[in-house]
Structure 1
Amino acid sequence: MGYVALTIFGTGLLSLSTDRDVIATPGLGSVPGPLAAGVSAIAFAATLWPVLRGRPRYTSVIGVVLAVVLAHLVALWVLALVFGADLALATAAVGDVATSWTVAVFAGSAAVAAWVAVAVRRTAAHRPRWPWERDEDE
């Protein structure tokens, strides 16, 4: 959920501050963008899950970031075609996203969220407990 929250916050804030749409390709419609973001969230979870098994390494975050960005761009292209855009428009939309700040937001959100997940897993952090919930041996 941290990845999704950071992505929504980042795209919203930068869209507001730059006065530019997240996907500024005219004629694309409003459906492919959010669905592609959803696919990137699924890609984030799918690539992070195997990383967190065992003792994860911080360098594995790079693979998660690359998978998320690639999944977002491919999903945007496919979904644009599915929802009625022609090949040129779908390719233009992906090119616009790939060369704008949007790809940086997705990559940065994935990097921060994956790094935090690896850090929490490596430290074996547990939920906070009240004093009466602790075992006597602690």
Structure 2
Amino acid sequence: MSGAPGGSPRDTSGGPVRPVVAWAFATVLFVALMVGGLGVVSLTTGRDVIAVADFGELVGTAAAAFAAAAFAGVLWMLLRRPQPSLWGAVGTAASAFLVYLAAVWIGGTAHTGDVVLAASVAGSLVTGGFALVVAGAGLLAGWGGILLVRSSGGRPRWPWEGRDEP
């Protein structure tokens, strides 16, 4: 067994988390933060995320799915680099935010046939704070995923454990 970080697959001495594992954890975290955050904002403001009856539930669900796909795509591109920059989390947040709003606008237009109504719903997502929750979830989860890949920590050890033991 190699003692270097990122050595053999059986190496437990530490090293960065594999990009695919960090990507999976961060994507699940993004979805959880987005769903939970939208629920909390809805609960505290007393407003539905999309308060227009003609939109139905499919538009919001599809927009969340597209935002998650955009987040995952941008994060995967970042994590493939040798040492991804923490500033990449801004890109994950921006992509999730913009794709969420675009999906609501396009989906709402396709569903209702009213471009202005769909644009006003997308605008109310920004002013009501719902779209900012999506951006915040993208920022936090993207930052966490990048940190997982950049870290060099290993499993927790007691002070009396030898560093040369597996």
Q: TM-score range by the shorter chain?
A: 0.7 to 0.9
**Residues 83 and 117 of structure 1: CA distance in aligned 2, closer, same or farther (over 3 Å):** same
- Following superposition, which runs of at least 4 residues in structure 1 exceed 6 angstroms of deviation? none
Structure exhibiting the larger radius of gyration computed from Cα positions: 2
Unmatched 5+ stretches in structure 2: 1-27, 157-163
Aligned residue pairs total: 133
In the alignment, the residues of structure 2 paired with residue 106 and residue 36 of structure 1 have an alpha-carbon distance, to the nearest angstrom, of 11
Greater mean deviation of Cα atoms: 6-15 or 83-92: 83-92
Where does residue 45 of structure 1 map in the other structure?
72
Where does residue 83 of structure 2 map in the other structure?
55
Greater helix fraction, Structure 1 or Structure 2: 1
Could you list the per-position Cα deviations for residues 75-119 of structure 1 after superposition, in whole angstroms to 9, with x for gaps in the alignment?
A: 111111222341111111111112221011101111110010011
Is the aligned partner of 1:8 residue 2:46? no
* 1:20 paired residue among 27, 36, 47: 47
Unmatched 5+ stretches in structure 1: 130-135
Identity percentage over the alignment? 32
Could you list the per-position Cα deviations for residues 54-73 of structure 1 after superposition, in whole angstroms to 9, with x for gaps in the alignment?
A: 21111111111111111011
**Residues 85 and 28 of structure 1: CA distance in aligned 2, closer, same or farther (over 3 Å):** farther
What secondary structure sits across from 1:73 in the alignment?
helix
- Give the TM-score normalised by structure 2: 0.73
Map 1:74-85; keep pairs closer than 5 Å. 74-85=102-113
- Give the TM-score normalised by structure 1: 0.86
In the alignment, the residues of structure 2 paired with residue 100 and residue 19 of structure 1 have an alpha-carbon distance, to the nearest angstrom, of 11
